[in-house]
Amino acid sequence: MTAPDLAAWLAHAERLHPKSIDLGLERVVTVLRRLGLETPPYRVFTVGGTNGKGSCVAFMEAILRATGCRTGAYLSPHLVRYTERVRVDGTDSTEVELVAAFAEVEAARGDVTLTYFEFGTLAALCAFRSAGIETAILEVGLGGRLDAVNAVDPLVSVVTTVALDHRELLGSDRESIAVEKAGIFRHDRPAICGDADPPSTLLTEAERHGVRLWRIGREFSVERAGEGWSLAHPGGRIAGLPLPALAGAFQLDNAACAIAALLALGMPLPQAAVAAGLLAARNPGRLQRAGAGGEVVLDVAHNPAAAAALAAALAASPAVGRTLAVIGVLADKDARGIAAALDGAVDAWHAATLDGARGRSAAALAVELRAVPVRGAVSVHDDVLTAHAAARARLEPGDRLLVVGSFHTVGAVLGAGLYCAPQGD
């Protein structure tokens, strides 16, 4: 009998639990104990928040690697290949390594029915142990308090931002969502907040948990100076830092959160390592520029706050001509809010169908776009690649092509090899 490959393990993980999302820690903790990973043999940082999580992880990973630390990074979802979710020393894990990790989890779980994300999270923790990493940076998948990642106690917790997303699971307003995000805080341990105007409930939860909270704009702050910047923090100031490799003014806040998290733990951070990490960080699908014969921007923005940040970045670097958008948005996302945020930056919309249990048809998406109403014409396409081809055919010199709305949308274009291999700015 042929041993299962990674695709077979992922299919197995999708079938195990009756629900695709079933928030709670009991199942994960049970298997974690059986694996002997309740207290992992490596330092753990946990990064949550609505937007900016992946970039913050990328900055922390790159800075730590520049200090000589052997790192593990767990991110979700992936753009093209599942192996993107588990990185060791800045490199995606191999399928062989992940197959071994999945087999380890399967042997330990017994009759416990794990969700796809829970199975993958446990496999990542196993892969990190096998790789002998020193520090793991774990990105929260959904919320925080009941997310599988929260089964492991972090030394430092980061909440990047709090905005409206996953309201059917986390709450209908920022105050409710903040309580879920703050669930990753740990008593008498440092926590970082990158939201300049956090809901009062996040501060209340921080006090209730007894955490040592550093807030952007208070305990630490960004000071932009020409083509560089400085970070002020409780222990002093790091001056003369280069602008991050990741594009967008908002990335300074993500970088500041990453540095603050490392400083809060008291880790030695040579300025040269911080600078090198800022320049080395990569996070594909976030203001990623690609293509030839015209500007192409790919961004996974899938909620109104992320779309507003994207719109501001596009406005700061306007196209000479028009901006044509290829957009696909999952059914459980606020398509109308995303379109409203981007409306001023987009001249024509190519709506694409996204398949799957959470998919949304292009026709249904077009209804939402026209209800805004967006100012540009809306066309409907059977899938992302068809929408992309139609938009490309309309490009004129000076025009910009924007691919946006979901990891699925950006991933379809990158996975087709239409541009360079996934690589962030």
374-401 pLDDT, tens digit per residue, is 999 999 999 999 999 999 999 999 999 9
197 by Cβ neighbours in 10 Å (0-12 / 13-18 / 19+) ranks as exposed
Look at strands 190-193 and 288-290 and give their pairing.
unpaired
Measured in degrees and rounded to the nearest 5, phi and psi for residue 164 equal -80, 120
Q: What is the pLDDT of residue 2?
A: 55
Q: What is the pLDDT of residue 270?
A: 95
| Residue 206, phi-psi category: left (phi > 0), alpha (psi -120 to 50), beta (remainder) | alpha
The reported pTM is: 0.94
CA 318, CA 313: separation in Å to the nearest integer?
9
3-state class of 347 per DSSP? Answer: coil
Q: What is the pLDDT of residue 225?
A: 86
Radius of gyration of the chain (CA): 21
Nearest CA among 63, 75, 141, 55 for reference residue 313: 55
Q: What is the pLDDT of residue 297?
A: 96
Q: What is the pLDDT of residue 220?
A: 97
Give the CA distances from residue 315 to residues 72, 139, 189, 342, 343, in Å, rounded to whole numbers and listed in that order. Answer: 35, 29, 40, 10, 11
Q: What is the pLDDT of residue 422?
A: 41
H/E stretch holding 402 reads strand 400-404
The ranges of the chain with pLDDT < 70 are 1-3, 292-294, 420-425
Q: What is the pLDDT of residue 292?
A: 61
Q: What is the pLDDT of residue 425?
A: 35
CA 423, CA 410: separation in Å to the nearest integer?
12
